[in-house]
Amino acid sequence: VARAHWAEYGRNYYARYDYEGVDKPKAEEMMKRMSEMQIAGTEIQGMKVKMNDVFAYTDPVDASISNNQGIRIIFEDGSRIIFRLSGTGVAGATVRLYLEQYEPVSGNLDQHQFEVVKPLAAIALEVSKLQEFTGRDAPSVIT
């Protein structure tokens, strides 16, 4: 079923990197720094940034708006990087890094998703300076 869908519509490769138990004030500082960046129109590691923002979620049922849901970086090819900060863990905070890249029908639809999004992860780490803020050189979990 999935292969038939990809053959007709293309494929979105996706991965989530979780950095669990990080220092919350440092993670908040990193998020604040990224919220102030103006990188639209720049090129990072060969990818052109279309837009970046702090995004809000609008509930489709009651139209309520939840602001400050995370940092979004969207590239001209439609690829996305999203950072979200969660403070609901047992200790510290969790930085969630979402990576998504579209592959059209004419592209290679049989790649491993973690390999496809690795270049996006490298860009995310460069832009966020996550390793400097958290002291982490690898995520706790990749899904």
69-93 tens-digit pLDDT? 999 999 999 999 999 998 765 678 9
Q: Residue 11 in contact with residue 138, Cβ under 8 Å?
A: no
Taking residues 33-50, report their average pLDDT. 97
pLDDT attached to residue 88 = 63
CA distance 54 to 75: 15
| Strands across the sheet containing 43-44 | 43-44, 47-58, 65-75, 80-86, 93-103, 11-22, 141-142
Q: Which residues contact 67 (CB under 8 A, 6 or more apart)?
A: 54, 56
The Cβ-side half-sphere exposure at 112, using a 13 Å CA radius, reads 4
Share of the chain above pLDDT 70, in %: 98
The Cβ-side half-sphere exposure at 108, using a 13 Å CA radius, reads 6
* Number of separate helices (H) and strands (E) present in the chain: 4, 7
pLDDT attached to residue 87 = 76
CA distance 140 to 2: 29
List the single range of 86-90, 94-98, 106-110, 127-131 with lowest mean pLDDT: 86-90
Q: Which residues contact 69 (CB under 8 A, 6 or more apart)?
A: 54, 55, 56, 57, 84
**Reported pTM:** 0.90
Taking residues 98-112, report their average pLDDT. 93
